[in-house]
Amino acid sequence: MMFTIIIILIVTLIVAAIIINAMQQHKEKVEAEKRTEIAKQRSIVDETENVLMAAGQMPISQKVISILQTRVNNALRVMYELNPSQADIKQRIKDADDRLKSISLDEPTNSQDSFVLPDNDKMIIQYIQAIKKLRVLLRSEHTKGKVDTQTFMREDKTLEKLQLRVNVETLVKRGAAAMNTNMLGSARQYFEKAIAALDAQTQPDDYVMQRKQQLQEQLQTIQDNLRNVNAQDRAKKQAEERDELDELFAPKKKW
């Protein structure tokens, strides 16, 4: 009888150990998943806030700002639900709520005609990257059903036009710099790339048509300059050849 009791106790202890171990593993798994999700949401917050900071320098609508700010709010709330002990998150949610409430959707969007390309090439690259990221985030929120199709199509089209303008103006800037250093071939390539980008637009607006006309005029100027340079080079070469012939057939001098 005693032996049977001992066996039962041993089995009970083994089963208890297995259950405790399984519970511990489950708890660790849950904690690991929680940490992973918190890190994911933190990444969403950081990414979106960086884009919001860059967007402050862009002519984009308050609707887009509202979409991005809502994205930050949602991520912060998920983080707080997963870890309510984070007091700083609670304060960040309050601050984010205040920023969202301060957004006026009736505020007019700055016209892209007032757009000024940054002077620094590094800033231009950051600008282009920010616009691309904006479009990616907007599409992501639309895919999740948090942005209606009409809003997505309208705002994405606006961002697409801004992206085109930045790309074209960057090429124009580089082309003008090449012209100033008399690198006419490089300038022509920059202007031709800009025109190709404008030609790719299926629904050209005033900016596209006016910029294309200006660039075509600049290309014509370059072509004329290149023809003049080539003509001068030919004339110079012909003059040099004549000098050589004159020297060759000149009367021999008597010494």
- Tokens linked to 143: 């895919």
pLDDT at 85: 82
CA-to-CA distance for 218 and 188, rounded, in angstroms? 9
CA-to-CA distance for 89 and 66, rounded, in angstroms? 20
CA-to-CA distance for 233 and 211, rounded, in angstroms? 33
**Dihedral (CA of 232, 237, 238, 244) sign:** positive
CA-to-CA distance for 149 and 194, rounded, in angstroms? 31
Model confidence pTM above 0.85: no
Question: What string of pLDDT tens digits covers the 255 residues of the chain?
Answer: 677 777 777 777 787 778 888 888 888 787 888 888 988 999 999 999 988 888 877 888 889 999 999 999 999 999 999 888 877 888 888 988 888 888 877 666 666 766 777 777 888 888 888 899 999 999 999 999 999 999 999 999 999 999 999 999 999 999 998 888 888 888 889 999 999 999 998 888 889 999 999 999 988 888 887 776 655 555 455 555 455 444 544 455 544
Identify which of 124, 109, 114 has the alpha carbon closest to the alpha carbon of residue 168. Answer: 124
